[in-house]
Amino acid sequence: MAKTVVITSDSTCDLSKELLDRYDIHTIPLTITLGDESFLDGQGFTPLDMYARYRQDGTLPKTSAPGVQEFLDFFSQFTEQGCEVVHLDISSELSNTYNAACLAAEDLGNVHVVDSRMLSTGVGLLAIEGAECRDRGMDAAEIAGHLRSLTGKVQTSFVLDTLQFMWKGGRCSAVAALGANLLSLKPGLEMKDGKLGVYKKYRGSINHVYKQYVKERLEGRQVRPGHVFITESGEVDDAVLEEIYAIVRETIPVKEIHHTLAGCTVSTHCGPKTLGILFIEE
């Protein structure tokens, strides 16, 4: 008899509670540290709280991955019930989370760890795919293999309103940040080969750039119609989001568009008004 399969992810998948419950996906949080305070990603401390703190005293939080023991405790709640686990993590190029999960999986057995090569709802797209495969009756090894084969088809990208947070976090030089802000450049970032890099620099107001960016990312692509994510880091105007919804529906056939708020792990580096369109290509 096949074992029950449980789909898990770290908290950087940025799926809403509604989607986690709907697809029965379990998450293990990263830790957010701000001065002497520590929070679990997605629990009790939001990007909006983080921006308020930054504007108040100029401090940004640091993030840390769960340790091996935390993963052992997390996975064992399922394996001790006789279940197999398919677990997804943020790209191993960006965090030690994947390595810690692999070490715990080796110790326990019955845990298949997948390097998503993505971040944010790029991970979330794969988690939902894994849940749908589980519900179709695929076993854990088949699901893990299928998800690994899909990582190159996930399109994860974002456009930033400011480089201030990346500069503050040490991800770009002060000169680059100042130059981009003076020229009103809005960098477009995408995940490629497990790393996040600049693929284009947009010019103009961020509300105009959002629409240009979404059209360019979708036009001419064979997008899988099941799930498309509009993921933002907070402070994007609702009216603009409605326009983006309309652009997506006019550009591609899509069954479900999900609007989600990125967690603190992602938002601490990209800052407010960052927005991404994320999907899987055929």
Average pLDDT over residues 61-76: 94
* 231 in any annotated domain: yes
pLDDT of the residue at 9: 98
Confidence category of residue 74, pLDDT binned at 50, 70, 90: very high
Q: List the beta bridge partners of residue 196.
A: 191
Residue 181: the pLDDT is 53
Question: Which structure tokens are listed for 152?
Answer: 């190159």
* pLDDT at 182 (0 to 100): 41
Compare 183 and 20 and report the one with higher pLDDT. 20
**pLDDT for position 198:** 85
Last-in-domain residue among 120, 151, 182: 151
Cα–Cα distance measured from residue 12 to residue 182, given in angstroms and rounded to the nearest whole number: 31
C-alpha dihedral over 217, 223, 225, 228, to 10 degrees? -30
85 and 107 in a common domain: yes
> What is the percent of the chain where pLDDT is above 70?
92
Q: Could you tell me if residue 88 is inside a domain?
A: yes
In a domain, 139, yes or no: yes
**Residue where a domain terminates, one of 122, 151, 180:** 151
Secondary structure class of 223 (helix, strand, coil): strand
Same domain for 200 and 103 = no
Instruction: Examine the fold and report which residue of 151, 168, 199 is the final residue of a domain before the chain moves on.
Output: 151
133 and 235 inside one domain: no
AA identity, residue 76:
S
Domain contains 57: no
Q: Rounded distance, CA 262 to CA 32, Å?
A: 14
User: Higher confidence at residue 56 or residue 178?
Assistant: 56
Same domain, 138 and 165: no
| Per-residue pLDDT, 153 | 98
**Domain match, 143 and 266 both:** no
Report pTM. Answer: 0.93
Q: Please, which residues have CB within 8 angstroms of residue 100's CB and are 6 or more apart in sequence?
A: 65, 66, 67, 68, 70, 71
CB-count burial class (<10 Å; 0-12, 13-18, 19+) for 82: exposed
* Distance between CA atoms of residues 237 and 247, nearest Å: 16
Residues 102, 184, single domain; the answer is: no
Of 24-38, 80-94, 242-256, least confident by mean pLDDT is 24-38
Residue 51 domain-assigned (yes or no)? no
- Is there a domain that residue 112 lies in? yes
87 in the same domain as 213: no
69 and 167 together in one domain? no
Among residues 179, 175, 169, 176, the alpha carbon closest in space to that of 271 is found at 169
Kindly indicate the confidence band of residue 42, based on its pLDDT and cuts at 50, 70 and 90.
confident
- Domain interval for residue 208: 156-280
Identify the pLDDT of residue 165. Answer: 65
In a domain, 207, yes or no: yes
The CATH number of whichever domain residue 266 belongs to comes to 3.30.1180.10
Mean pLDDT score, 64-86: 97
* Residue 196 or 253, more confident: 253
Of the pLDDT bands very low, low, confident and very high (cuts 50, 70, 90), residue 176 is very low
The whole-angstrom separation of Cα 190 and Cα 217 is: 10
CA R_g for the chain: 19
**28-42, 64-78, 141-155: lowest mean pLDDT where?**
28-42
Residues 139 and 166 in one domain: no
* Residue 92 and residue 219 in one domain: no
Report whether pLDDT(70) > 90. Answer: yes
Q: What is the pLDDT of residue 172?
A: 42
Containing 123, the helix (H) or strand (E) segment is helix 121-135
Does one domain contain both 129 and 166?
no
Do 114 and 185 belong to one domain? no
Q: Chain-wide mean pLDDT for the chain?
A: 90
166: nearest Cα among 191, 182, 192, 186: 186
- pLDDT, position 29: 94
- CATH code of the domain in which 95 resides: 3.40.50.10170
Per-residue confidence (pLDDT) for residue 98, from 0 to 100: 98
Q: For residue range 248-273, list pLDDT tens digits in order.
A: 999 999 999 999 999 988 888 888 99
The answer as to whether 52 is a domain residue is: no
Task: Tell me what pLDDT residue 41 has.
Answer: 86
Q: Which whole number is the average pLDDT over 23-28?
A: 98
Instruction: List the one residue out of 174, 180, 162, 165 whose CA is nearest residue 58.
Output: 165
Give the count of domains, the chain. 2
pLDDT of residue 127: 98
**Which region, left, alpha or beta, applies to residue 270 given φ > 0 means left and ψ of -120 to 50 means alpha?**
alpha
- In this structure, is the dihedral angle defined by the CA atoms of residues 11, 259, 91 and 268, taken in order, positive or negative? negative
